[in-house]
Structure 1
Amino acid sequence: GPGERGMVGTGLALEIPAGYAGLVLPRSGLASRYGVTCVNTPGLIDAGYRGEIRVALVNLDPSHSYEIHPGDRVAQLLITPVPTTQFLEVAELSDSTRGEDGFGSSGR
């Protein structure tokens, strides 16, 4: 119903190769036409996960329900490489034009 959220099973399971991850992303048409989108965007699927892919959806429409049927495309999955990094502790960070300016500081 309007304003509700829930987990939707896709019926799919897959084996993502080591060094990669899956990002569950909303479908723009579903969001723009019906107000239905993913709650946690992007949803991260680690390479070691072997269960069914499930999608956390929310209906942002204040007055209309949206019914999901088997086979409906409710999200999309992007498989992407995950670089391995090593962090180095430093005494101070280099300067940048943005500096420490936070939310809303990079323009309109």
Structure 2
Amino acid sequence: MEKLSVNIINQSAFALPAYATSGSAGMDLRANITESFTLQPLERTLVPTGLFMALPEGYEAQIRPRSGLAIKQGLTCLNTPGTIDADYRGEIKVILINLSNEPQTVLPGDRIAQMVIQRVAQVEWLAVETLDTTNRGSGGFGHTGKI
């Protein structure tokens, strides 16, 4: 597995994000807050992590929901996956929303999202008059007939 060294500043009271297992793709991000807060149903907020990083060019960080938090509490991330570009140097923050029918409380240090680092490519557009044909063609959603 490829290893990538990334410069990071941790201004939170918590340990750096880490992989929970050797096969994990994502690292948990924690709420860097000093007091708990409660999200009402359908309420959203921006939660700081206290982390700042410098990704190398050709990489992005994706911020994704934690499945356990989503199924157990109805808390998930908006703008998912959120992209952190290689040239961004601000604090990593997570947009949380409560999709449950009950108020949900977030405590200091709670694991609120996961971050996955991915390679990315920038495209160079080639304007053409036609595209090659495929079996699917221009069929839209559900067009493949697979159930």
Gaps of 5+ in 1: none
Corresponding pairs, count: 107
Q: For 1:49 and 1:57, locate their aligned partners in 2 and report how far apart those are by CA, in whole Å.
A: 20
Q: How far is 1:80 from its partner?
A: 0.9
Q: How far is 1:105 from its partner?
A: 2.3
**How far does the alpha carbon of each residue in 1:20-42 deviate from its partner, in whole angstroms, 9 at most, with x for none?**
11110110111111111011111
Q: Which amino acid aligns with 2:71?
A: S
User: Does 2:106 match 1:68?
Assistant: yes
Q: For 2:44 and 2:74, locate their aligned partners in 1 and report how far apart those are by CA, in whole Å.
A: 12
**How far does the alpha carbon of each residue in 1:53-77 deviate from its partner, in whole angstroms, 9 at most, with x for none?**
0111110002x11111121111111
- Corresponding residue of 2:22: none
More strand by share: 2
Secondary structure, counterpart of 1:95 in structure 2: coil
Identity of aligned residues (%): 48
- Corresponding residue of 2:78: 39
What RMSD over aligned residues (CA atoms) do the two structures have, in Å? 1.2
- Corresponding residue of 2:57: 18
Aligned mate of 2:89, from 50, 54, 57: 50
Q: How far is 1:52 from its partner?
A: 0.8
Q: For 1:57 and 1:97, locate their aligned partners in 2 and report how far apart those are by CA, in whole Å.
A: 41
With CA pairs under 8 Å and 6+ residues apart, which has the higher RCO, 1 or 2?
A: 1
Gaps of 5+ in 2: 1-39
- Corresponding residue of 2:118: 80
User: Does 2:137 match 1:99?
Assistant: yes
